[in-house]
Amino acid sequence: MEKEMKLSVNRKLVLNLLLFAVVIGLIYFVIRDSLSAIFIELLATSWPILLGVTALGVASLFVEGYTIKNIAGLYQPGFTIFDGVIACAYMMFYRVITFGTGSLVAEVIYYHKKELKISQGTGVVALRMTLYKLAILFWTFVLLLTQLKTLQRESPHAIYLIVLGMVATLAVVVVLLVLSSSLNAQVFLITLCNRLFKKPKSRAAVDQINLQIYSLRETIQTFLANRPVIWRVFLSNSVKLALWFLIPYFVLAGQHPKLDLILSIALVSFTVVLAGVIPSPGGIGSFEFIYVILFRQLVGKVDAASSLLLYRYSTYLLPFLVGMLYVLVTKQKQINSELKEAKVGNSQSNKKD
């Protein structure tokens, strides 16, 4: 029995060391290949601009932490704004190193570490995404009205694309709410699964999924019953987007004093919406492609690309670096703890021998 425990501790230690090495390798690969252009742009950026962009990024990160705290705090009162900041950074870290595939799972795992149930963590993710998309719709609708005459004169076809993007975003919101809160949708899904899966093991898995969906629906209903929290989350998401949308103007206004503030904010908002409906050409990210297309007409392609890199630094790289620091420190503490545990186990085994 003692030998089995000793082997278990050693295997766990070796596994964590391997995982740590893999994480380091992925970080090196991502920074070298995917994020190198941003680092190069940072080196060429003046200190006032760099400090300002960093301040906007940090402020938006704390606003996001406040947003997450308001949602998660309904189910775990001890959840703090700082926990929300780390949740956002942790999610962004795994979004970067898994190229977008593991971010939501990582976020749910983080909430579970903070003593939320899996269904509650999933509910927090669904609610965060839903209120974020509603805030995007709000900003885009208001800004579309302010820039309607300009768009009709300069690019009337863009109006239809923006409206299409808004409709697509609204459809995602409706689907998220229906799947996570509707009893009829849950019954339909379980009925369909029962027809497709007849084996006992499969049915058992379906029953477990059913319980999780039921718990998720309860989580969503708890949130929807609290209107003050809904408004706080919606407004904080709107503030976060406002901070993001200010970044290009802050970067470009010095060299382009005639750049209109509202137009600049509107173009970023339109980019966010259009990126969801326009496919990526030639492997280039759809957001990056649309951003450069819209801004180069105002400031030229070179300055548009430079401001894009600084925008990505503030909204993408900065939280990634915070998440990376958290993951590395946490993993190092875990490995040190397991090393001590392994040493204690080995010394006790040697004494008995």
Query: In the chain, how long is the greatest CA-to-CA distance?
Result: 88
C-beta neighbour count of 166 within 10 angstroms: 20
Helix (H, G, I), strand (E, B) or coil at 236: helix
The pLDDT mean for the chain works out to: 81
Residue 15 lies in a domain: no
Residue 214 lies in a domain: yes
Mind listing the pLDDT tens digit for each residue in 262-274? 999 999 999 998 8
Of the ranges 64-78, 93-107, 246-260, which one carries the lowest mean pLDDT score?
Answer: 93-107
Mind listing the pLDDT tens digit for each residue in 74-94? 889 999 999 999 999 999 998
Distance, in Å, from the CA atom of 29 to the CA atom of 16, rounded to the nearest integer, reads 20
Nearest to 114 by CA among 139, 157, 85: 85
Domain ranges, residue 285: 58-327
Tokens of 156: 């009337």
Residue 31 lies in a domain: no
C-alpha separations of 92 from 103, 106, 244, 259, 307 in Å: 7, 9, 16, 31, 21
Q: How many domains does the chain have?
A: 1
Of the ranges 35-49, 170-184, 290-304, which one carries the lowest mean pLDDT score?
Answer: 170-184
Residue pair 229/70 in contact (Cβ under 8 Å)? The answer is yes
Residue 148 lies in a domain: yes
Most confident of 109-123, 143-157, 256-270: 256-270
Of the ranges 98-112, 116-130, 202-216, 287-301, which one carries the lowest mean pLDDT score?
Answer: 202-216
Between residues 94 and 99, which one has the greater pLDDT?
94
Nearest to 293 by CA among 154, 120, 146: 154
Helix (H, G, I), strand (E, B) or coil at 259: coil
Residue 9 lies in a domain: no
Contacts of 132 (CB under 8 A, 6+ apart): 237
Residue 316 has pLDDT above 80, yes or no: yes
Taking the model in full, what pTM does it have? 0.82
Residue 39 lies in a domain: no
Between residues 23 and 331, which one has the greater pLDDT?
331
Mind listing the pLDDT tens digit for each residue in 199-241? 665 655 555 555 556 666 777 788 888 889 999 999 999 999 9
Residue 26 lies in a domain: no
Distance, in Å, from the CA atom of 323 to the CA atom of 317, rounded to the nearest integer, reads 10
